[in-house]
Structures are given as structure tokens and as C-alpha cells.
């Protein structure tokens, strides 16, 4: 790989390697392998990284920016999760299962990502046990977070869902990146219900 390419994308890749190191130590050989089997890509606000009903052939690492993952129903975007700085993002159902994606992924602000095409991902998977360890940890964390979210959504009423996200500061984080109607969709309620509950709970905390 050319040295000038390393310099050009140093910040993007270093951010990814820092996150990967939290999952498993990243050796110099894995770094070089990743440099040769990935590419940084920029997406403008509103641009789709993935469209539903198409097979997903890319794994993204969000190095800067913010994305929403959603499906369309009756002309509305039903958001199931978000992906921000430091997150790996794709439709795992489609990417690993080689099926049509159930979701769309959209940049809600200008976003920079490191992209691994399927053939690049497969090469890394076959040639590096370190890379396998990283992805397994990513999937482990994804499974844990998905189960926790499913439990909260099914076991709590609307107020409980909003309260939990306020207690964990998740709502305050999301408000820096997306409008309130996106947060309402994520919490599976109308914008009006969310605004009413949020205002009420906000007053209680003051």
C-alpha cells in the first residue's frame, strides 16, 4: 500500500483501530491487511448507505457522523437503531445471511466510514484470526444490546422507555444528532407522545 494513502486516511483508520483494540489487540500485520482490504467513503446528509430489499454487501465502520437504521411502513421511517462514531454498522441479517436487507441505513449528517466490501471482509476473515476475534466481539456486543433494547421496549410503557433513555443520557446524546421525531420513532411512539412525556419528565428533574 502507498505511504501517501496511509497519511491521507490516518485519522479515519486510527479511530477504527482504537475501537478495534478495545475488542482485541490489533497487530501491525492486521493493520496492513485492513489498509489493503477496505476504503474510506464519505456520505452526505440524507444519503442512503443501504436500501431495503437489496442484499447488503458492505460492512461500515462509522468514523465520523451519524446514521439511522430503519424500515418503511405506510410512508414513515420506523427507526430501530442508530450508529454513530465508533460503531460498526450494516444489516447483519443481510450481510452474513446473504439475504435481502430488511432495513435502510441513512446518513443523518455528513458521515465518513471505512467500508469493507464482502470479498474484502471474506479475505480478512480467512487470513486473520485477529480480525475474526474483533468481529465476534462486535457481534457479541450487538446481541447483548439488542436483547436489552427488546426487553426495555416490551416491558416498559411509553413513559418508562423515555425515562430510561433520559436516565442513561441517551436522549441527550441523540438530540445532538437527530430531530425529536426520529427519537420518538426509535422509542416506538408518536412525536406528540414523546414531546409530552419528555417535557413532563424534564420538569420533574429540575
Q: Label residue 5 by pLDDT band (50, 70, 90).
A: low
CA angle, 68 as apex, 177 and 184 as ends, to 5°? 70
Report whether pLDDT(202) > 80.
yes
Q: Label residue 133 by pLDDT band (50, 70, 90).
A: very high
How much is the pTM? 0.90
So what's the pLDDT on residue 162?
A: 94
Question: HSE (CB half, 13 Å, CA atoms) of 113?
Answer: 29
Domain ranges of the chain: 3-146, 156-206
User: For the domain with range 3-146, which CATH number is right: 3.40.50.720, 1.10.260.40, 3.40.50.280, 2.60.120.10?
Assistant: 2.60.120.10
Mean pLDDT of the 58-75 span: 96
So what's the pLDDT on residue 1?
A: 47
Beta strands in the chain (DSSP E): 39-43, 48-50, 58-73, 76-84, 88-89, 104-117
Report whether pLDDT(142) > 80.
yes
pLDDT in tens, 75-106: 899 999 999 999 999 999 999 999 999 999 99
Considering the chain, what is the average pLDDT of its residues? 92
Amino acid at each position: 500500500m502507498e505511504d501517501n494513502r496511509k497519511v491521507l486516511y490516518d485519522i479515519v483508520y486510527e479511530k477504527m483501530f482504537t475501537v478495534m483494540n478495545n475488542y482485541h489487540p490489533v497487530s501491525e500485520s492486521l493493520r496492513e491487511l485492513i489498509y489493503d482490504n477496505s476504503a474510506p467513503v464519505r456520505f452526505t446528509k440524507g444519503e442512503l448507505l443501504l436500501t431495503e430489499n437489496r442484499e447488503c454487501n458492505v460492512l461500515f465502520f462509522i468514523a465520523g457522523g451519524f446514521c439511522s437504521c430503519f424500515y418503511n411502513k405506510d410512508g414513515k421511517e420506523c427507526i430501530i437503531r442508530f450508529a454513530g462514531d465508533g460503531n460498526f454498522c450494516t444489516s447483519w441479517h443481510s450481510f452474513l445471511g446473504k439475504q435481502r436487507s430488511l432495513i435502510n441505513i441513512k446518513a443523518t449528517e455528513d458521515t465518513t466510514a471505512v467500508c469493507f466490501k464482502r470479498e474484502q471482509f471474506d479475505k480478512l476473515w480467512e487470513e486473520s484470526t485477529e480480525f475474526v476475534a474483533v468481529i465476534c466481539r462486535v457481534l457479541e456486543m450487538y446481541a447483548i444490546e439488542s436483547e436489552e433494547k427488546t426487553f426495555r421496549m416490551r416491558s416498559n410503557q411509553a413513559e418508562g422507555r423515555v425515562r430510561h433513555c433520559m436516565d442513561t443520557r441517551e436522549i441527550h446524546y441523540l438530540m445532538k444528532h437527530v430531530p425529536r421525531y426520529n427519537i420518538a420513532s426509535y422509542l416506538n411512539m408518536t412525536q406528540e407522545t414523546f414531546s409530552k412525556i419528555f417535557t413532563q419528565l424534564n420538569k420533574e428533574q429540575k
